[in-house]
Amino acid sequence: MTNQKRRTLFAMILCFFLGALSVHASEQKEFRVGMEAAYAPFNWTQYDNSNGAVPIQGVGGQFANGYDVQVSKSIAEKLGKKLVIVKSSWDGLLPALTSGKIDAIVAGMSPTEERKQQISFSIPYYQSNLVLMVNRDGKFKNAKTLKDFSNAKVTAQVGTFHYSVIDQIPDVAKQPAMKDFSSMRVALQSNAIDAYVAERPEGITAEAANRSFKMIDFKDDTGFKTDSSDTTVAVGVRKDDPDLPKINEYLQSFTLKKQQSLMDEMINKQPSVGEEKGWFDQIKSIIHDNGAQFLRGTGMTLFISLIGTVVGTIIGLLIGVYRTRPVSDRKVFRIFHRIINWLITVYIEVFRGTPMIVQAMVLYYGTALAFGWSIDRTLAALLIVSINTGSYMSEIVRGGIFSVDDGQFEAAQALGMTHAQLMRKIVLPQVLRNILPATGNEFVINIKDTSVLSVISVTELFFQGTTVAQQNFMYFQTFAIICVIYFVLTFTITRLLRLVEIRMDGPDAYVPIGNQMQVEAIHKNGGQ
């Protein structure tokens, strides 16, 4: 075979390979849709793929279903892409979209003017009306109009137009907005509030799932006055998204009759909530049905908190050692030392002075917005916990170094030991023992603080517990289980670290080798 034929054959093989890759890449194009998966019948979480449910990205054993999911499946088919459901908290949906973490929001979101300034919306894919949810045996159970809710304690979900319409109720005792419907249902059941605003499909779901709830559906002009843009829901996409025309093309064929038919179907298909007679029977039922989710959440919580504490301690030790390093006489090194010290101070003050939940939002969404970096949420969680812990441990290590007697530093210098030898052989062994209680305390704090990482949808224990409670509507029972798991974790870790402290301390009294031999000889001769 000539060289020309070889080159031709190689080119043909290369073209075929690249073509195959391009076809494979096109087949793998994803349509990533963000939703809470906790707003039935629009969207909910279930634990199998029945009734056309779709796996939730990054959450093993959980599937999303509901009206929004079925609409998303049809849109993805129209776009020729694979549907991927990304579970997110409500207040994380907009940052996730604008930062490129997701391609669209299909979560019962209304196209308000405020949101239109940040993202674009499709034409509506559903229209509903507002209702108020009350306790079936409460004092507002017979309310018919908004006037009947005078002096009632009413709230709604944060970041929604539902909260603004509360002002239409005369003399209402408007309560602070709440994070999600789970929080509002718990508040209503515990009588912390008298009512919360919802849309009719969600009201039907809550009423069917929990007999203590009742939906007040207003007639004619006795209810909330809303604009059509408020009661309609649409698909949210980034500005100038090229897929928006195709999305609208599909939704134009999605008639009102089809919308109502699909909504009725989803209301009938949403998971039913079985009722047990006793409180302990409910606890056993929750553990039986959701034990795997609790175990996965516990494992993730331990993994993040353990790695974060170890890495944070290493960061603290490095900073502590560097800050006690003697300053060089050379001017260049002195300037460099001051700059590094200033940067370390900024790092410590910033991460100690801001909440971890804000740091998680900034790292996970902010880096994508500012630099286009798409960080895995578990990696983002590890970074946040490690860096946050490092800022606290650096001060703890500094205190541990200062607790070592000055005479030991002077003796080491007199023996001609370098700073590295001083730290490695004399100071750090004592520092590690001195800071062990504080390090253990940081570990315990990290176990509890991982709960804030649910804001970026990290599947730790609190996230899994919230998901379970959103499905079974047994909030007190579910979070009682979560509380016990957290207590067992922190109590066990505290006991184990205490054993490590005792082990490092050694016996209460030490007997020198020579004296020990004398004691043994005296006892051998029967003397004293």
User: With 50 as the cut, is the pLDDT of residue 150 above it?
Assistant: yes
Tokens of residue 62, six digits: 């959980």
Counted residue by residue, the chain has a size of: 528
Domain-by-domain residue ranges, the chain? 30-125+235-268, 130-225, 282-505
Rounded to whole angstroms, the Cα distance separating 63 from 50 reads: 9
Least confident of 1-15, 128-142, 436-450, 468-482: 1-15
Least confident of 80-94, 178-192, 298-312, 410-424: 410-424
Phi, psi of 217 (to 5 degrees): -100, 110
Question: What Rg, from alpha-carbon coordinates, does the chain have?
Answer: 31
Tokens of residue 259, six digits: 């919308």
Whether the CB-CB separation of 450 and 298 falls below 8 Å is answered with no
Q: What is the mean pLDDT of residues 438-457?
A: 91
pLDDT of res. 10: 45
Q: What is the mean pLDDT of residues 160-176?
A: 93
Whose CA is closest to 235, among 365, 58, 69?
A: 69
Half-sphere exposure of 398 (CA within 13 A, CB side): 14
User: With 80 as the cut, is the pLDDT of residue 276 above it?
Assistant: no
Whose CA is closest to 460, among 363, 312, 327, 357?
A: 357
pLDDT of res. 430: 83
Whether the CB-CB separation of 194 and 153 falls below 8 Å is answered with yes
pTM of the model: 0.73
pLDDT of res. 281: 83
Average pLDDT, the chain: 85
Write the single-letter amino acid at 197. Answer: V
Query: Confidence band (pLDDT; 50, 70, 90) for 12?
Result: very low
Q: What is the mean pLDDT of residues 337-358?
A: 91
Q: Which CATH superfamily is domain 130-225 in?
A: Periplasmic binding protein-like II (3.40.190.10)
Write the single-letter amino acid at 479. Answer: F
How does pLDDT run across 22-46, given as a tens digit for each residue?
333 334 489 999 999 988 899 999 8
Q: Pick the residue with more confidence: 523 or 376?
A: 376
Rounded to whole angstroms, the Cα distance separating 126 from 124 reads: 6
Strand partners, 45: 64
The CATH number of 282-505 is 1.10.3720.10
Q: What is the dihedral of CA 494, 499, 505, 510, to 10 degrees?
A: 150
Class at the top of the CATH hierarchy for domain 30-125+235-268:
alpha beta
Write the single-letter amino acid at 284. Answer: K
Least confident of 277-281, 397-401, 406-410: 277-281
User: With 80 as the cut, is the pLDDT of residue 18 above it?
Assistant: no
Which of 335-344, 399-408, 479-488: highest mean pLDDT? Answer: 479-488
Rounded to whole angstroms, the Cα distance separating 152 from 169 reads: 9
Domain 30-125+235-268 matches domain 130-225 at the CATH topology level: yes
Question: Burial code of 349-374, b = ≥16 C-beta within 10 A, e = fewer?
Answer: eebeeeebbebbbebbbebbeeeeee
